[in-house]
Amino acid sequence: MKGILVTGTDTDVGKTWFMLKFGSLLKEKNRNFHFLKPVESGCIEPDGRVVPKDATQFSRLEDKPLSTICEFMFKAYVSPPKAAKMENKTISLNQIIKFLNENKNDNDDCINIVEGCGGFYSPIANNKLTADLATELKIPIVLVVKNALGCINHTLLTIQSIKKLKLDLKLIILNNINKDTPLDNFEELSQFTNIPIIKLGYNEGLNPKVLEYLD
């Protein structure tokens, strides 16, 4: 599969936000892409229907059926295996891999943008972590980091974990998820890693330079 796996240093760091901005940039540049968010928990329930909020945004931006983007949808806002258990269901890594293989875009000019769950070591399936998904896919990784106090520690630990598995970390996205970011960690974080870092400002577009690292 040609593409990237988007993971984070934690949950709620802005992975989906980055993916939407990246998709918008690719669309602007007339580049082919396909979103894949195989698992989503915390799904909203209008009229009794389970609707994956993030995957629905991907579907609208890409103009592709939701069924080609997300398959496993759970109500509770907890880890997918825990959410599945609460609904008397199970979810395995093999099921996730099967969905990805069946729905990926194999065209040479298309980049598949895959989103993991939570942080790199967050559970994604029964007894499996997003790290296990990354090991199976063996595609380049983009690490999304919330630009806040403590992020340097979280980022360096995650980098170390990715390198230990001999995976290819292409880029770090330092994400301002709030309008006011009192502490900017860009310069200090840059002192501790040679992985390229791109800042994503609050409600701003993504720097086109990101394409240099992900082509």
Give pLDDT, residue 215.
78
Q: Tell me the per-residue pLDDT of 63-101, one tens digit each, with 9 for 90 and over.
A: 999 999 999 999 999 999 999 999 999 999 999 999 999
> What pLDDT, on the 0 to 100 scale, is given for residue 47?
83
pLDDT of residue 55 exceeding 80:
yes
pLDDT tens digits for 117-160?
A: 999 999 999 999 999 999 999 999 999 999 999 999 999 999 99
Strand partners, 137: none
Does residue 37 carry a catalytic annotation? yes
pLDDT at position 15 over 90: yes
| pTM of the complete model | 0.96
Closest-CA residue to 8 (of 110, 98, 131, 92): 131
pLDDT greater than 80 at residue 181: no
Expressed in angstroms, the distance from the first to the final Cα of the chain is 14
| Token representation of residue 56 | 């629905």
Q: DSSP state, 159? A: H
| Category of 47 on φ-ψ map: left (φ > 0), alpha (ψ -120 to 50) or beta | left
Per-residue model confidence (pLDDT) at position 45: 84
The whole-number pLDDT of residue 154 equals: 97
Return the structure tokens found at 60: 């609208």
Catalytic-role residue among 37, 104, 128, 146: 37
Write down the mean pLDDT value for the chain: 95
**Residue 162, pLDDT above cutoff 90:** yes
pLDDT of residue 44: 87
Span 45-52, mean pLDDT?
A: 87
Q: Cβ–Cβ contacts within 10 Å for residue 82, how many? A: 12
Integer Cα distance of 37 and 60 in angstroms: 14
**119 closest CA partner among 37, 4, 12:** 12
Element (H, E) at 212: helix 210-214
Q: By the 8 A CB rule, do 101 and 68 touch?
A: no
Q: What angle do CA 207, 18, 36 make, to 5 degrees?
A: 125
pLDDT bin (cut points 50, 70, 90) of residue 168 is: very high
pLDDT for residue 123? 98
* Rg of the chain on CA atoms, in Å: 16
